[in-house]
Structure 1
């Protein structure tokens, strides 16, 4: 089922992604014709979702596919401007099979952003989705408007995470806070500088340039920082640094 629509007036989203200070949100006007493609093997749920979007946002082109293979076989979608919404159903993103599917989908989608509609606000689910290349994660508790807003934001190059999910991230991290003094005592002055850049979402290349280091040295520092923070990847390390380590410094600076 596919629907086309007339041009939609560009509007600036009122949501500001809080994952990284480097995320930018350009104008929506260039990508306002993108089609929202919902991939969900459950026929009834998929059709109900499509119908709800059509009724609530008739200006947004929307269509659905029962599988990634069906989506790839759709000649009308080949090369089309689109945002792909991947519904995990009752499965968790952390499951190896789901990770493999999502990674393959992101690769096949190319420049088209992929959103994940998952089962919960679980921290690991969100981080895994982003590690697989997704541009947004939405728990099943969100509404149609949230999904449409995510479509528009990611169409413009942004990253989407609902405010409710950000709250869940902070709550999850607060349950097992890393003692600030013990972490600080274990970090060198150079590692602290790398931490500050890492939590702001800067790449290894930028960190190396700003701190006058070799990129390989930056990688070693980040690996050691992740170990001391007990983080499994740099995304989780950045979350922990923002939520538990640099909060008091930011408060004093303000």
Structure 2
């Protein structure tokens, strides 16, 4: 029987948003809250505050970091933030379109880059990749006068019609997470088994739950059984 001890409401996904503009922090916070039903947001308006908070806040899933903070230059500031972050993945959120700057951020250790001119849905693509240990860093296009151009993405995929269709459409890693969940393992145990951060497992489970239209682990297990899909080990 699948345990329902760790529901989304008990274990929110926690992000640290670092930007010296309050309105930008608000926008990123709103974007995350719209995409994840259970999310905790920690904010910092300066590099110094961000360093303090990353050291005092446990279980951060990821950091969204503005490259141009008012109390540091972009290069040394990023280095200091990455050093403080340790194993917590950091995504640079910046308005720069300089591909050399973007590349230097990744070389320094950032796990992702999201341009401020992108549509908010880009976060949906970036977060699972980054939390699973990958790198998300598309170079944003620019107009002839150098201004950033909004990247229009296609509309979201049409809702699936059945549990079977939903499960069969999952990625290999999502199916692996689901298989371990059906064995009764906790998020922490699944993360340890797959060698990834616990925050990565939370993202995968939320994605699967949204796709199947369920709200907790028990409903997820029942929907999978109803779909008649065998998740081989």
TM-score (norm 2): 0.49
- The structure having more radius of gyration, on CA atoms, is 1
Flag the structure with higher helix content: 1
Structure scoring higher RCO (CA < 8 A, sep ≥ 6) equals 2
